[in-house]
């Protein structure tokens, strides 16, 4: 149980285009979803936390207008990288957790990640 999928797994795009990444919880309802970015040989950096039906909470230094997050349903969150530039090239990972509060939310189940390359 607790499977999270991400699509696409790999995307290459031209500078200036927008890219949408989907994150789905396949067998549970994820009230909270998280988006991370990971540079080579570095740890995960939390970009934003989203709760279903409300606006995402962005971490300091993450541009909300550039990284649009929509958590439209209990099983789907999307991250759109708008007007992508080469410096946005990275590995993007989503995760999902049960519930809105309490310890049950603490265990996150990760998607397989999306490798974005912006030319």
Q: Are 32 and 108 in contact (CB under 8 A)?
A: no
Q: How far is 60 from 70, CA to CA, in rounded Å?
A: 18
Cα separations in angstroms, 68 against 15, 57, 101, 111:
17, 11, 24, 18
For residue 6, which of 111, 98, 116, 117 has the smallest C-alpha distance? Answer: 111
The reply on whether position 90 binds other proteins by CB under 8 A is no
CB of 69 to other proteins, least distance (A): 15
Residue holding tokens 């709760």?
51
Q: Which of residues 10-39 bind other proteins (CB under 8 A)?
A: 34, 36
> Residue 75, Cβ neighbours under 10 Å: how many?
19
Among 1, 14, 40, 43, binds other proteins (CB under 8 A): 43
Binding mask 47-66 for other proteins (x = CB under 8 A): --x-----------------
The reply on whether position 87 binds other proteins by CB under 8 A is no
Stretches 14-22, 67-75, 77-85, 101-109: which one binds other proteins (CB under 8 A)?
A: 101-109
Among 13, 26, 45, 68, binds other proteins (CB under 8 A): 45
Cα separations in angstroms, 4 against 66, 90, 113, 118:
24, 19, 10, 25
The reply on whether position 44 binds other proteins by CB under 8 A is yes
Binding residues for other proteins, rule: CB under 8 A, are 34, 36, 41-46, 49, 93, 95, 103, 105-113
């Amino acid at each position: 149980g607790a499977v999270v999928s991400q699509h696409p797994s790999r995307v290459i795009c031209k500078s200036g285009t927008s890219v949408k990444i989907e994150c789905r919880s396949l067998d549970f309802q994820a009230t909270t979803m998280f988006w991370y970015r990971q540079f080579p040989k570095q740890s995960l950096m939390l970009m934003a936390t989203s709760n279903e039906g409300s606006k995402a909470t962005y971490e300091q230094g993450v541009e909300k207008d550039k990284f649009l997050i929509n958590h439209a349903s209990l099983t789907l969150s999307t991250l759109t990288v708008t007007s992508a530039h080469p410096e946005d090239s990275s590995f993007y990972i989503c995760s999902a957790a049960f519930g809105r509060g309490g310890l049950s939310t603490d265990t996150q189940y990760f998607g397989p990640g999306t490798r974005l390359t912006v030319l």
